[in-house]
């Protein structure tokens, strides 16, 4: 059986409430009855043995039902609500919206809240509207929080700006349910008028937070505008303080953000209802081979969390926090977004229903995505012409600052190494695991090129480059030789955005991302194959980190500690100021 999504989201579907109530009473046949189910009750944490009557895309009743136009007997299997990802950036998958749905829906992820600030930084409001138009055609309810910080800071060059006026415009859009993560936490703490005006514009709606390492009185100040959540917590004590101060804790496990092990001990009978599981950033390869939010649920259970509790944290808790009426439970009047699974401990979707329609089986999609040609976002690469000589990194003084990669995190540590420059020019030194990093501005043709050193990649030769670089998405490249870095950046430019691996001056692997320089126009399967080739090519160069391009994408994020690199230069994140190199 193959089914295609209707292209309608809950707000636009017409419901005959009287007819639904009639089915609930047992006085009319349901469209579908899922019988003999072990129903996971996310309200009480119980397993109920019951039939579930579905009509007009909603659940009419849970109990004893036999009269249905179709009956599916799932004796011995569990029925759970569809998973809800409370915080994800679709763009980190490299997949266009349709292919993203093909990747995650068969895994049981049937709703999610995405802060599309990657697209917003490149394409502004028009890009957001295009993405949401495509999303409405898919069997997944994608809600959006309006990107609050575009750009995230004034310490990088972004393609667009969203001010209070644009945010108010977004607030009026269908399926916009709140304000996205407020990354400029220093501005909030300082009482910056512009920041406070943005927060005020979403008074009465959910406001997501982004507060890495913020504690004590500064945390109190950050929470004063009723910011409700945080997904940047990496340490137990910090997470406990944020829970005590009223924040919902988003425990994430993405391609590079591995916080589940450290934070899961915070989940108790007293706190679980304020904790949710999220992915934040997960690339297509990890989704395809390991899973998406379903993989986070499985890992949480392996780490000792009760399976029903894990499901509650991936369904009911995000639905409650974001005030998503009719989501997060198997109950009368709720949307029939449902997952059939053989095991709660090894949560794998056997069948997936969206609004009562079968859309996935055995983790494979039963629907098609619209062609990428219908999802245009325009050419988004505008680099001022430069030469390999423009990549020279000048620094004087006895030591050079180094961005040190932290395994499993998007933070970097601030290191320092003896300056062994020649005539003030710093180069890579593989004997000390130091390689050159550059950020090339790609929106306005400014000619800005930030330069620095990074440790922890393990590269012995060649170069990597990507135009997916949070949050302004300039081109980030790392490499041993400037000549290879130059070729890698040039390849990304020629492809209209994307990922590239270069060895000895030759491109050995690449993935074009022509949609805003962020998303592929290819199918899920082709993107995954390209990522495999890229990762293998990077490993051949000596790269030893998992998901190397995901790691690269956060080197330019100046709102996450400690030392970062933008197109304008090296940034001391804590002090929110540049480290100025000495130029000849």
Distance, CA of 199 to CA of 134 (rounded, Å): 28
| Ordered per-residue pLDDT tens for the chain, 584 residues | 333 333 334 444 578 999 999 999 999 999 999 999 999 999 999 999 999 999 999 999 999 999 999 999 999 999 999 999 999 999 999 999 999 999 999 999 999 999 998 999 999 999 999 999 999 999 999 999 999 999 988 899 999 999 999 999 999 998 999 999 999 999 999 999 999 999 999 999 999 999 999 999 999 999 999 999 999 999 999 999 999 999 999 999 999 889 999 999 999 999 999 999 999 999 999 999 999 999 999 999 999 999 999 999 999 999 999 999 999 999 999 999 999 999 999 999 999 999 999 999 999 999 999 887 655 566 679 999 999 999 999 998 899 999 999 988 888 999 999 999 888 899 999 999 999 999 999 999 999 999 999 999 999 999 999 999 998 999 999 999 999 999 999 999 999 999 999 999 999 999 999 999 999 999 999 999 999 999 999 999 999 998 999 999 999 999 889 999 999 999 999 888 999 754 43
- The full set of domains in the chain, from first to last, is 83-325 (3.20.20.140), 388-579 (no CATH)
**Those residues with Cβ within 8 angstroms of residue 345's Cβ, 6 or more apart along the chain or in another chain:** 301, 307
Q: Cβ–Cβ contacts within 10 Å for residue 117, how many?
A: 28
Judge whether 386 and 32 are in contact, CB under 8 Å. no
Token pair of 285, please? 């390869």
**pLDDT value at position 372?**
73
State the Cα–Cα distance between residues 79 and 356, nearest whole angstrom: 13
For residues 436 and 427, the answer to whether their CB atoms sit within 8 Å is yes
pLDDT at 353: 98
* Spatial distance between the Cα atoms of 209 and 462, rounded to a whole number of angstroms: 38
Cα 177 from Cα 173, distance rounded (Å): 9
pLDDT the model gives residue 396: 84
Helix (H, G, I), strand (E, B) or coil at 219: helix
- Per residue, what are the HEC states of 113-172? EECCHHHHHHHHHHHHHHHHHHHCCCCCEEEEEECCCCCCCCCCCCCCCCCHHHHHHHHC
* Alpha carbon distance 368, 455 (integer Å): 43
- The predicted pLDDT at position 581 comes to 57
Closest CA to 314 of 275, 353, 359, 355: 275
Strand partners for 440: 449, 475
pLDDT at residue 192, rounded to an integer:
96
337 touches 111 (CB < 8 A): yes
Pairing of strands 399-405, 412-418: antiparallel
pTM as predicted: 0.92
- Strand 412-418 with 463-466, pairing: unpaired
State phi, psi for 83 to the nearest 5 degrees: -70, 150
Note whether 578 and 458 are within 8 A (CB): no
Question: Could you give the CA distance from residue 534 to residue 215 in angstroms, rounded to a whole number?
Answer: 39
Decide if 476 contacts 430 (C-beta within 8 A): no
- Rounded distance between C-alpha atoms, residue 543 and residue 255, angstroms: 16
Q: H or E stretch including 106?
A: none
At 276 the three-state DSSP class reads strand
Say how many CA atoms lie within 13 Å of 94 toward its Cβ: 33
Q: Are 21 and 28 in contact (CB under 8 A)?
A: no
Q: What CA–CA distance (Å, rounded) separates 358 from 106?
A: 10
CA–CA distances in Å: residue 358 to residues 12, 13, 139, 373, 559: 20, 18, 10, 27, 42
């Amino acid at each position: 059986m193959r089914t295609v999504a209707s292209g309608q989201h809950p707000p636009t579907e017409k419901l005959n409430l009287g007819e639904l109530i009639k089915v609930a009473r047992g006085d009319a046949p349901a469209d579908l009855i899922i019988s003999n189910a072990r129903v996971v009750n996310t309200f009480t944490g119980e397993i109920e043995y019951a039939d579930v009557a579905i009509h007009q895309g909603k659940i009419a009743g849970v109990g004893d039902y036999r009269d249905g136009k179709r009956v599916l007997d799932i004796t011995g299997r569990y029925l759970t609500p569809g998973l809800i990802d409370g915080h994800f950036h679709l763009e980190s998958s490299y997949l266009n919206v349709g292919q993203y749905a093909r990747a995650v829906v068969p895994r049981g992820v049937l709703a999610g809240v995405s802060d599309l600030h990657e697209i917003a930084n490149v394409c502004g409001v028009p890009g957001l509207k295009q993405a949401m138009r495509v999303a409405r055609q898919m069997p997944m309810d994608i809600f959006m929080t309006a990107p609050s910080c575009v750009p995230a800071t004034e310490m990088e060059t972004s393609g667009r700006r969203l001010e209070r006026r644009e945010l108010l415009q977004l607030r009026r859009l269908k399926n916009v349910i709140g304000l996205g993560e407020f990354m400029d936490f220093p501005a909030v703490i300082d009482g910056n008028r512009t920041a406070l005006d943005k927060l005020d514009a979403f008074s009465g709606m959910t406001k997501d937070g982004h507060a890495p390492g913020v504690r004590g009185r500064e945390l109190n100040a950050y929470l004063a505008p009723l910011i409700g959540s945080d997904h940047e917590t990496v340490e137990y004590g910090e997470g406990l303080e944020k829970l005590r101060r009223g924040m919902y804790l988003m425990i994430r496990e993405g391609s590079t953000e591995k916080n589940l092990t450290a934070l899961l001990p915070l989940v108790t009978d007293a706190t679980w209802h304020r904790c949710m599981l999220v992915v934040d950033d997960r690339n297509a390869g990890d989704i395809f081979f390991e899973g998406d939010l379903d993989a986070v649920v499985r890992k949480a259970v392996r780490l000792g969390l009760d399976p029903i509790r894990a499901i509650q944290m991936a369904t009911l808790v995000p639905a409650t926090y974001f005030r998503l009426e009719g989501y997060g439970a198997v109950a009368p009047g709720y949307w029939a977004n449902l997952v059939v699974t053989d095991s709660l401990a090894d949560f794998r979707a056997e069948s997936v229903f969206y609004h009562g329609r079968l859309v996935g089986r055995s983790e494979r999609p039963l629907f098609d995505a619209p062609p990428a040609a219908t999802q245009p976002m325009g050419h988004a690469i505008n680099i001022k012409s430069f030469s390999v000589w423009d990549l020279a990194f000048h620094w004087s003084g006895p030591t050079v600052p180094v961005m040190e990669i932290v395994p499993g995190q998007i933070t970097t540590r601030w290191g320092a190494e003896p300056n062994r420059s020649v005539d003030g020019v710093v180069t890579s030194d593989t004997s000390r695991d130091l390689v050159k990093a550059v950020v090339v501005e790609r929106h306005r043709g400014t000619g800005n090129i930030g330069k620095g050193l990074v440790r922890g990649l393990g590269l012995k030769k060649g170069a990597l480059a990507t135009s997916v670089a949070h949050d302004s998405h300039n081109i980030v490249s790392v490499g041993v030789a400037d000549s290879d870095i130059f070729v890698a950046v040039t390849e990304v430019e020629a492809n209209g955005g994307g990922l590239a691996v270069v060895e000895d001056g030759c491109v050995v692997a690449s993935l074009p991302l022509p949609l805003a320089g962020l998303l592929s126009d290819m199918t899920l399967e082709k993107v995954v194959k390209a990522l495999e080739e890229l990762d293998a090519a990077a490993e051949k160069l000596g790269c030893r980190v998992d998901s190397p391009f995901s790691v690269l994408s956060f080197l330019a994020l100046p709102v996450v500690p400690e030392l970062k690199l933008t197109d304008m230069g090296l940034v001391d994140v804590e002090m929110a100021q540049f480290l100025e190199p000495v130029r000849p």
